[in-house]
Amino acid sequence: MAQRSRRLRLHASGRFCWFHCWFSCFTSTVLVANCTMAALHGLLNIDKPPGVTSRSVVNQIQQLVRPAKIGHAGTLDPLATGVLVLGIGAATRLLQYVQRMPKQYRATFLLGRSSPTEDVEGDVTLQTDAPRPSAEAIRSAARELTGTLLQRPPAYSALKVRGRRAYDLARRGERVELEPRRVNVHRIEVVRYEYPELELRIDCGHGTYVRSLGRDLAERLGTQAVMSALVRTAVGCFQLEEAIAPDRLDRASIEAHLRPLRSAVEALPTVRLSDAEVAAIRNGRTIRRAELSGEEPVAAVDAAGTLVAILKRRGAEHWGPACNLPCA
């Protein structure tokens, strides 16, 4: 009887050891996989397809990079295509700098038409006896719309009014009056004009509504316009030629297409830190850099050129971390 009990204990012990080894291997694999995905930090240059929201593209990529955080650096409407910059991991903390980068668009408008959304997504109304402006008149009006302008955003926009999205209020039939905002338009070039279709190349700054530029251009010509197509061809250093369609990505290819964190802050002044300064910044301390001037944030890189922190002024000659970034 004692011998049989001993055999049972050994058998149970063997089964427990087998299960313990299997469970340890399984959890180790899961932890390694999660750590690998969580360690993804960088920016993705996505070529957004038409007919989908920017948020749906983010959700699609998020399924591939979990549990890493993800966000985007500027919405494209469902009608629009082109460059949509995504930040993964620590890059989500740098998207504000990508948003401030200059942008390039190729936009197509239909003259002699209007809609509440200022594009063909809304109910389009044909203008009676609409004038047909000459190409030279269009170029002249375009020149008047370059520089620093006060632009009235469209009622159908994501801006908030009394805590609600403007487009939600507009869809409910409420009157939406948005205050004009200061924007910078660097260039408007007529690419092609065959009435009623007008194609423009637009170089502008953050916060510019391209469909509203078409509206304002048409008003200067004594007519109206709706946007029928929009392609974002560049956001700073992120070019359409280098963008990748989200359907071509999988877990294996995302890391290969990630741009380094430093590409998000190419417009910021840069300072190279010594190893001792890197250690100080990582520990939340300040460093003395008398050569730095102004109040603008500074991108701090290590000896290898890797972005380690965003610095902000902490006194006359001292700078401290506004944002520490993970080691490469």
Any idea which residues carry the catalytic annotation?
A: 77
What is the number of other CB atoms lying within 10 angstroms of the CB of residue 320?
Answer: 16
SS (H, E, C) 100-167: CCCEEEEEEEEECEECCCCECCCCCEECCCCCCCCHHHHHHHHHHCCEEEEECCCCCCCCEECCEEHH
Q: How far is CA 179 from the centre of its chain?
A: 24
**Which residues contact residue 227 at a Cβ distance below 8 angstroms, ignoring those fewer than 6 apart?**
79, 107, 108, 109, 118, 119, 120, 210, 211, 214
The backbone region for 173, taken as left when phi is positive above 0, alpha when psi lies in -120 to 50, beta otherwise, is left
Query: How many helices (H) and strands (E) in the chain?
Result: 8, 18
Q: Is 35 helix (H, G, I), strand (E, B) or coil?
A: helix
Q: Both tokens of residue 261? A: 């964190």
User: Distances in Å between the alpha carbon of 68 and those of 42, 61, 88, 201?
Assistant: 11, 11, 7, 36
CA–CA distance, 75 with 233 (Å, rounded to integer)? 14
φ and ψ of 49, to 5 deg: -80, 165
